Each structure stands twice: as structure tokens, then as C-alpha cells.
Structure 1
């Protein structure tokens, strides 16, 4: 299935949950936040938040710098 991640198509397996996005992208989930329909999803709900075809997900990553 395809979802929208920050406006770009991302292919995931059917039945994917929010936590699968980090695994698919090969990134550490520390410093990451997700929102669906402008609502931030708490980290403890990522594994139970099922995604559907066309779901619009926003991912925000904290970066260090100065």
C-alpha cells in the first residue's frame, strides 16, 4: 500500500502500523514524532496505529546543531 509521508509516496506492506515507517526508512525512532491529520500520535500508540492506503503522515525529526 502507499501512504503519503511528508508529501511523498512511501510503499509499505498492507497492515503496516506507524512504527513500521522508521524500520522501512532505516532510522532510529529517537527524536522522531509522527502526526496523522495534524494530530500528534503518542509514541506508545505507534505499534497499534494502523495505516491505510493514502494515509497522510507527517514525520518530524529533531536534529542537533548549533
Structure 2
């Protein structure tokens, strides 16, 4: 399936929901913010949000430091 990930088309191999997408991309879940089709989601919502063709996903990695 093809989604738009951070403004770029991206083919997704196996992920069926947002939690699986984060895992498939190898990202550290505690440091990621997710927006799905314009809606910001809490981490506990990721497993229940299915992915569909043409979804728009924005991922932001939180970086702390000084």
C-alpha cells in the first residue's frame, strides 16, 4: 500500500496500523509524535488506527538537548 509519509510517497510492506508502521520503520516509539490524516494521536491510539491506501502520516522525532 502507498501512503504519504512526511510529504513523500512511501510503500508500506507489512504494517496494518500506526504502531506497526513505527516498528516497521525502526523508530523509537517514545520519541515520536504522530499525525494521521491531520489528527494528532496519543501513543495508546496507534495500535487501533488502521492504515489505508493514500493515508497522510506525519512523524516528528522529539530531540532533547541544550
Report the TM range for the smaller structure's normalisation: 0.7 to 0.9
Structure holding more helix per residue: 2
- Give the C-alpha shift of residue 20 in structure 1: 1.6
TM-score, with normalisation over the residues of structure 1? 0.84
Q: Which residue of 1 aligns with 2:22?
A: 22
Q: Which runs of 5+ in 2 are unaligned?
A: none
Displacement over 2 Å in runs of 4+:
none
The corresponding residue for 2:53 is: 53
The structural deviation recorded for 1:10 is 2.0
Distance change (3 Å), C-alpha of 1:21 and 1:15: closer
Q: Distance in 2 between matches of 1:49 and 1:19?
A: 8
Residues 8, 42 of structure 1: CA spacing in aligned structure 2 closer, same or farther, 3 A cutoff?
same
